[in-house]
Structure 1
Amino acid sequence: MKKIYQIIASLAICLLIVQVDATAQIKTPATSQKATVNQTVGISDVSITYSRPSVRGRKIWGTQLAHYGFQNLGFGTSKAAPWRAGADENTVITFSHDATVEGKAIKAGTYGLHVGLQENGTATVVFSNNSTSWGSYFYDENEDALRVDVKMADNAHTELLTYAFVAVDNASATVALQWEKKAIPFKIGFDVPSIVMEDISNKLRDQTGFNRPAWESAAQYAFSIGNTEKALEWVNAAQAGQFFSQKTFGNAQLKSAILNQMGKSNEAIAEMESVFDQATALELHGYGRQLIAGGNLEKAEEVFKTNAKKNNNAWPTQYGLGRLYSAKADYKTAIKYLQKALQNAPNAGSKGNVQANIDKLKKGEDIN
């Protein structure tokens, strides 16, 4: 009988443990719902995860909801805690690459985000290496990665605390904490060219680098940021020396542009002439226009006439000659060639463009 009671007691204990464990797994809605906001700058990402308390008619600033300064909150280990910049757990911010905040450097990684509010309308935004604690109750300034001082701004009423990327350009983004009628903005920047170039260099050494277009794209980007030495290195690899290499009109035109930028105009012209035989009428037409834009009308004339002869005056060879004579301010001859181009134009859109240029020439306006 005693053994039976022991068994029953053991079962009861096991059942209680199961019940407690089940209770621990229950999820109920948080009063302040969690949210994440993301923004890409260049190829870098910034994300902020936070909980969103509501105003609900309450006074916000300088209260327990968003206290001023660095205070002892009466709980945890911190004796000088900033505001948690949200609710519940740490508000956290993640940078995928090394960045700057208000011009100050910060390493890639995840940080606890806090704010030291000041009564004078300024705020100290704190990035802590501790991103896993609850609120700011365990904040320790020795764990700071960065502090920046910013000015608060007046803002339209925002009921739910919100982080929003309010301005974005090709190298930076400004994020603002918005709540009640105030905003706390801070600017995040990335050295986009350096980050992209490092990423390209790494990818050209993995599977991405096993195809020619990747090297051409890499060269194009390097050229676009003015790194002509690296651009030339990569376009040369696209053209020769690898199992995938092939000289094409496209990569020759890119190499020519790089050489021109380097002041090697004769080499640039020779590069283009080496692919004339494989060029289409449209490709030669585009190169001729490039020469006009660069002010080399003599070479442009040679290219447009070669194009007309090589392609039996097909579209758009006459159009190119019209642009050439327009660049020379010989509008009468330009109109003659454009009228021929109008007859050969392949579709209504092309005909419309040619006719519009004829009309401009008749008014004495250059069409280039």
Structure 2
Amino acid sequence: MNRIKLTLLLFAFIGIHTNISLAQEADLPQPSPGATIVQNFGLVESTVSYSRPSMKGRKIFGALVPYGEMWRTGANKCVNIKFDKDVNINNQKVPAGTYSLFTIPNQNEWTIVINKNTEHWGTGTYKLEEDLMRFNVKPVTIPATESFTIDFANIKQNSATMQLYWETTKVSFDIVNDYMEEAMANIKTSIEATQNTHGIYNDAAEFYLDNNLDAKQALEWAKKSVEIKERYWNIATYSRALAANGMYKEAVANAEKSLKLAEEAKNMGMVDGIKRNIEDWKKMM
């Protein structure tokens, strides 16, 4: 009988302990909720995971976040930045991978720290020897921002500006993806793998034209595209390639052909661009 009572008490204790554990893991709102942003530019995908504390009436920089001290830059786990391809930051190569970001705020200058250990909670486990790089940036004054924010701005074909801002302070730095060599290799591979596909030749020609590369090669690909199959968009590319090679009369003739087809397709955005090209090229004839 005593053994039965002991067994029942043991099960009761396990049940109570389990309920307490479950209660401790209750799903509740977080004071500094997590956020993830993904931004593509060039041929790279950048992913930032971080937590967003709010001011809540407090003074932040120089108080809650002391000047001259390492800051986890947000709350909870350290900021994680992932690049799926190599990038350049502050003219230094950052290999593809995931990194943590720390900062050292000061009134007139911040230090940005990119660290190779991504499992930090706070700064207690930070080690200088795990740094990938450090560089300094100048803070600027902005209208008050309640919640700490990281985002990307100035998105260009090969770069984006990462911004960190909170309270009335913002710092930023550029991230660059030198995509040209990889893009050229991708063009070659795609053409070899999918010969006689008008879309691939058109894309290759457009890329060369957009980046002011070999105009003769762009013309060769654009011509090949329309020879395989004529569409208003690849005829428009062909006209651009002709113009890039100084063949304005032929460029206008093909642009007028693509204009008619684009109007029939009701692609008014392209119609406007073709009209502008025709106007410009006629002046060059």
Superposed pair shares fold, TM > 0.5: yes
Structure 1 168/156 Cα, relative in aligned 2: closer, same or farther at 3 Å? same
Structure 1 unmatched runs, 5+ = 71-81, 236-248, 256-271, 305-318, 324-345
Equivalent residue for 1:69? 68
| 1:101–1:148 Cα contact (<8 Å) kept | no
Candidates 78, 82, 107, aligned match of 1:94:
82
Q: How far did residue 116 of structure 1 move? A: 1.0
Candidates 191, 201, 209, aligned match of 1:216:
201
Structure 1 217/5 Cα, relative in aligned 2: closer, same or farther at 3 Å? farther
Structure 1 30/295 Cα, relative in aligned 2: closer, same or farther at 3 Å? closer
Candidates 199, 219, 223, aligned match of 1:253:
223
Q: What secondary structure sits across from 1:182 in the alignment? A: strand
* Larger of the two Rg values belongs to structure: 1
Structure 1 210/126 Cα, relative in aligned 2: closer, same or farther at 3 Å? same
Equivalent residue for 1:44? 44
Residues 335-355 of structure 1 show CA distances to partners (whole Å, capped at 9, x for unaligned) of xxxxxxxxxxx98x9xxx9xx
Q: What secondary structure sits across from 1:69 in the alignment? A: coil
Give runs of ≥4 in structure 1 deviating > 3 Å: 197-205, 209-212, 221-228, 249-252, 282-297, 365-368
Equivalent residue for 1:161? 148
Q: What secondary structure sits across from 1:6 in the alignment? A: helix
Relative to the length of structure 1, the TM-score reads 0.58
Higher RCO, Cα 8 Å, sep 6+: 2
Superposition pairs of residues 1-368 of structure 1, within 5 angstroms: 1-63=1-63, 65-70=64-69, 82-119=70-107, 121-199=108-186, 209-210=193-194, 212-213=196-197, 215-216=200-201, 219-220=204-205, 223-224=208-209, 225=211, 251=221, 253-254=223-224, 294-295=245-246, 320=253
Q: What secondary structure sits across from 1:105 in the alignment? A: strand
Relative to the length of structure 2, the TM-score reads 0.73
Q: What secondary structure sits across from 2:154 in the alignment? A: strand
| 1:157–1:181 Cα contact (<8 Å) kept | yes
Instruction: Return the letter of the residue paired with 1:253.
Output: K
| 2:201–2:222 Cα contact (<8 Å) kept | no
Q: How far did residue 279 of structure 1 move? A: 8.9
Structure 1 152/285 Cα, relative in aligned 2: closer, same or farther at 3 Å? closer
Higher mean Cα deviation, 47-56 or 10-19? 10-19
Identity %: 26
Q: How far did residue 23 of structure 1 move? A: 2.9
Q: Distance in 2 between matches of 1:201 and 1:287?
A: 19
Residues 171-199 of structure 1 show CA distances to partners (whole Å, capped at 9, x for unaligned) of 11111111111101111111021243455
| 2:113–2:134 Cα contact (<8 Å) kept | yes
